[in-house]
């Protein structure tokens, strides 16, 4: 999972560690929701969420508190306002019409792990992508064998032999690829740090026309600490086919890299991939871009979205934690409310919602402590005592299918969050510490496409293009090379489920907006019905110890805290009669 990209949270870990939303309905005369009201000293921009039917009262509250209205979003029920700091937010909270008040600033993270250490090592902070960095070990750096047209015709790509994850779920030449590869009419949205739409193992399936970028990169945080670095383009808004992090590209590749005789193949190699970017280069996710991305997905006819991130700055959002100030409580309430409304909007328009569960190595049904919040601005984290009323968003939001991660032996990955309430499905996410198979080191992680410029920046390939370690694989033919990276995390697990959902929609969807359509309720039922049931470990109900904490698997084969309703199964999805 991604969060602040370089930490964990439900998306994949940043590449650096890898060595590891639709237009709003505006009030007449208001500026666009994405624009700022005229700046004034000491004023900040806020998203003010109001109760149904409470817009007029909330507008009066904004003005009474000394604020100015910039815009109103009637779709999701919030006001964009400017006001004088935290005191402004607390004054708004006194209104019966106001549910939450959240600063409109960079918040969020990806779901990837930040270190390739085993369970004996405490997990990194959960503020980055949901992918874990690949284990580092020496490598020759030699290119992989060139692609073979015959191999592609047989339903395999040159690096398919390294994709243990696809074998685990039946996405192989003799498995699902021979039965159903998905349809170009099925649109899969990647809400992430971007997608490298020019990567040779993504380009054929990349839908540039529908792709959007809802974020503006932020070179530094309010304290002057570097975040995204220098802007590459004027206005700091990257093109819709760019990914300066790599997390989103890896996710997209796992979902739908084509069977084209190049590199790897995705779960559904014939679907259309749509970049619906809501994360910055560093991997932080603003609340508003996340809402905008989900709203756009609903309006654009996208069938499935993959969310390998959590919205920050809070790993867990608590609406009434006594350890938090009133302003902090209102901010967390705003995040829960705003994301849920955006999810409901998208799901009501046919979008199946898939999320990484998280890399906190904890039981989300019984959380006791949050040491990672608030994750923005950098360095503001403090330890809080929490309980199960606090939510990880969007993994614990309603209507979302949340996915835990397993390693190559099918053991729950040491870093993966779990819980009988929260885990809906499981899927391969990689685990460097999983010694249950003959695989070693990076081979225990998930291999997928990576942007060359990101690898070069992170010194994972040298000036000549040669990989500097085993976490990166170069595959060349006809003088052109493409790059792939091993990563681990629940960020890597979720896209396997998104790909299987795309196969089901390709087979059973009906003509609809954008191509094919299928109700999220039916997709969810079929995902569960086609999953491979996995029992809790036989040795009692416990597995292994992580940082002196014992992970306990509760429940039976039909539904348990480690595997949910089971492991996603592409072959069964490709062959079920419905």
Are 409 and 360 in a shared domain?
A: yes
Residue 574 has pLDDT above 80, yes or no: yes
State the average pLDDT for the chain: 85
Share of the chain above pLDDT 70, in %: 82
pLDDT of residue 21: 19
Res 256 pLDDT > 70: yes
Same domain, 333 and 287: yes
CB neighbours of 317 closer than 8 A, spacing ≥ 6?
332, 333, 335, 336, 390, 391, 392, 393
One domain for residues 475 and 412: yes
Lowest-pLDDT choice from 21-35, 405-419, 498-512, 517-531: 21-35
> In the predicted model, what is the mean pLDDT of residues 436-455?
96
Q: Which residue, 53, 85, 103, sits at the end of a domain?
A: 103
Q: Alpha-carbon distance 278 to 214, whole Å?
A: 5
The pLDDT assigned to 513 comes to: 81
Boundary residue ending a domain (60, 87, 103): 103
pLDDT-based confidence at 85, cuts 50/70/90?
confident
> In this predicted model, what pLDDT tens digit does every residue of 54-72 receive, in sequence order?
999 999 999 999 999 999 9
In the predicted structure, residue 113 carries a pLDDT above the cut 90: no
Q: Has residue 367 got a pLDDT over 70?
A: yes
Handedness of CA 286, 292, 296, 299 (dihedral sign): positive
Q: 388 and 537, same structural domain?
A: yes
What does the pLDDT look like over 180-221, one tens digit per residue?
999 999 999 999 999 999 999 999 999 999 999 999 998 988
CATH number at residue 80: 3.30.70
Whether residue 37 is predicted with pLDDT greater than 50 in this model: the reply is no
Q: Do 283 and 370 fall within a single domain?
A: yes
Q: Which of 305, 360, 335 is nearest to 490 (CA)?
A: 360
pLDDT for the residue numbered 545: 65
Q: 10 Å Cβ neighbour count for 146? A: 13
Same structural domain for residues 155 and 68? no
Residue 161 CB partners (closer than 8 Å, separation 6+)? none
Residue 124 exposed, middle or buried by CB count within 10 Å (0-12, 13-18, 19+) = buried
Residue 21 lies in a domain: no
Q: Supply the pLDDT for residue 546.
A: 61
Q: Is pLDDT at 41 greater than 50 in this prediction? A: no
pLDDT of the residue at 202: 98
Active site residue 247: yes
In a domain, 33, yes or no: no
Question: Averaged over 369-393, what is the pLDDT?
Answer: 94
- Catalytic residue chosen out of the listed positions 160, 272, 470, 491: 491
Average pLDDT over every residue of 19-48: 42
Helices (H), 9-84: 15-18, 55-64
Of residues 43, 50, 199, 247, which has the active-site annotation?
Answer: 247
Residue 90 located in a structural domain: yes
CA-nearest of 226, 247, 132 to 495 is 247
Cβ neighbors of 416 (< 8 A, separation 6 or more) are 357, 358, 359, 361, 404, 405, 406, 429, 490, 493
Residues 341 and 293 occupy one common structural domain: yes
**pLDDT at position 503 over 70:** yes
Report CA 562 to chain centroid distance, whole Å. Answer: 19
Task: Kindly tell me if the per-residue pLDDT of 318 is higher than 90.
Answer: yes
pLDDT at 377: 87
Q: With left for phi above 0 and alpha for psi between -120 and 50, is residue 339 left, alpha or beta? A: alpha
pLDDT of 356 reads 98
Per-residue confidence at 78, pLDDT binned at 50, 70, 90?
very high
Judge if 194 and 329 occupy the same domain.
Answer: yes
> Does residue 157 form part of some domain?
yes
Residues 194 and 279 in one domain: yes
Q: Which of 157, 192, 221, 328 is catalytic?
A: 192
Structure tokens at 203: 């380009």
pLDDT at position 43:
74
As a whole number, mean pLDDT of residues 108-119 equals: 42
Q: What is the per-residue pLDDT across 122-174, written as a single tens digit (0 to 9) for each?
A: 222 222 334 544 433 223 333 343 444 344 446 689 999 999 999 999 999 99
Provide the domain count of the chain.
2
Q: How confident is the model at residue 464 (pLDDT cuts 50, 70, 90)?
A: very high
- 244/392 same-domain check: yes
Q: What is the chain's Cα-based Rg?
A: 22
Degrees, nearest 5: CA angle 234-287-205:
65
d(CA 234, CA 236): 5
Structure tokens, 305: 């979205």
CA dihedral 533, 539, 541, 542 (to 10 degrees): -110
Place of tokens 């190559």: 408
| 232-251: burial string, b at 16+ Cβ within 10 Å, e else | eeeebbbebbbbbbbbbbbb
In a domain, 466, yes or no: yes
- Catalytic-residue membership of 243: no
Tell me, what CATH number does 176's domain have? 3.40.50.200
- Residue 391 is given by DSSP the state B
Instruction: Specify whether 92 is located in the same domain as 155.
Output: no
Domain stops at, among 88, 103, 118: 103
**Residue 363 DSSP code:** B
Note whether 363 and 429 are same-domain residues. Answer: yes
Is 110 part of a structural domain of the chain? no
Using 50, 70 and 90 to split pLDDT, how confident is the model at 77?
very high
Q: Higher pLDDT residue, 541 or 384? A: 384
Domain membership flag for residue 473:
yes
Range of the domain at 68: 44-103
Question: Is residue 341 included in any domain, yes or no?
Answer: yes
Residues 301, 188: Cα–Cα separation, whole Å: 10
pLDDT of residue 1: 52
Three-state SS across 458-473?
A: CCCECCCCCECCCCEE
More confident residue, 296 or 108: 296
| Interatomic CA distance for residues 526 and 315, integer angstroms | 31
The helix (H) or strand (E) run that includes residue 297 is helix 287-300
Please report the pLDDT score of residue 135 as a whole number: 36
């Amino acid at each position: 999972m991604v969060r602040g990209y370089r930490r964990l949270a439900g998306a994949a870990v940043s590449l650096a560690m890898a060595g590891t939303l639709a237009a709003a309905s505006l009030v007449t005369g208001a500026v666009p929701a994405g624009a700022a009201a005229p700046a004034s000293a000491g004023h900040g921009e806020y998203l003010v969420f109001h109760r149904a039917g409470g817009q007029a009262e909330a507008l009066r509250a904004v003005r009474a508190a000394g604020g100015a209205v910039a815009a109103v979003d009637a779709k999701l029920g919030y006001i964009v306002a400017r006001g004088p700091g935290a005191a402004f937010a607390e004054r708004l909270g006194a209104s019966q019409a106001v549910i939450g008040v959240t600063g409109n600033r960079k918040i969020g993270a990806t779901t990837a792990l930040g270190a390739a250490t085993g369970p004996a090592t405490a997990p990194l902070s959960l503020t980055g992508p949901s992918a874990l960095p690949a284990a580092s070990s020496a490598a020759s750096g030699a290119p992989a064998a060139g692609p073979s047209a015959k191999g592609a015709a047989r339903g395999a790509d040159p690096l398919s032999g390294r994709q243990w994850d696809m074998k685990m779920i039946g996405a192989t030449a003799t498995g699902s690829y021979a039965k159903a590869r998905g349809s170009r009419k099925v649109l899969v949205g990647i809400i992430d740090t971007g997608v490298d739409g020019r990567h040779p193992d993504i380009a054929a399936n990349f839908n540039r026309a529908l792709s959007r970028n809802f974020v503006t990169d932020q070179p530094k945080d309010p304290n002057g600490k570097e975040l995204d670095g220098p802007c590459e383009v004027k206005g700091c808004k990257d093109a819709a086919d760019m990914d300066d992090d790599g997390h989103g590209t890896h996710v997209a590749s796992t979902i739908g890299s084509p069977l084209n005789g190049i590199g790897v193949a995705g779960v559904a190699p014939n679907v259309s991939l749509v970049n619906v970017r809501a994360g910055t280069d560093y991997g932080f996710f603003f609340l508003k871009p996340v809402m905008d991305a989900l709203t756009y997905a609903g309006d654009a006819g996208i069938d499935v979205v993959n969310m390998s991130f959590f919205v920050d700055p809070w790993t867990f959002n608590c609406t009434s934690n006594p350890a938090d100030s009133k302003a902090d409580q209102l901010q967390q309430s705003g995040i829960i409310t705003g994301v849920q409304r955006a999810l409901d909007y998208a799901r009501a328009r046919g979008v199946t919602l898939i999320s990484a569960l998280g890399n906190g190595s904890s039981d989300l049904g019984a959380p006791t402590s949050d040491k990672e919040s608030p994750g923005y601005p950098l360095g503001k984290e403090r330890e809080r005592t929490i309980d199960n009323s606090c939510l990880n968003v969007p993994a614990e939001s309603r209507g979302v299918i949340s996915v835990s991660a397993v390693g190559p032996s099918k053991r729950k990955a040491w870093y993966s969050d779990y819980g009988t309430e929260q885990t809906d499905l499981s899927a391969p996410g990689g685990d460097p510490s999983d010694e249950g198979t003959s695989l070693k080191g990076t081979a225990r992680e998930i291999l997928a496409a990576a942007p060359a410029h990101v690898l070069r920046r992170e010194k994972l390939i040298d000036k000549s293009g040669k990989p500097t370690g085993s976490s990166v694989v170069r595959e060349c033919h006809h003088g052109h090379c493409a790059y792939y990276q091993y990563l681990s995390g629940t960020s890597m697990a979720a896209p396997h489920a998104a790909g299987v959902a795309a196969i089901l929609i390709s087979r059973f969807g009906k003509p609809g907006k954008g191509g094919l359509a299928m109700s999220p309720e039916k997709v969810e039922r079929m995902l569960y019905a086609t999953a491979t049931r996995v029992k809790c470990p036989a040795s009692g109900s416990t597995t292994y110890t992580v940082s002196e904490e014992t992970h306990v698997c509760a429940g039976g084969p039909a539904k348990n805290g480690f595997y949910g309703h089971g492991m996603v199964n592409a072959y069964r999805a490709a062959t079920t009669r419905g």
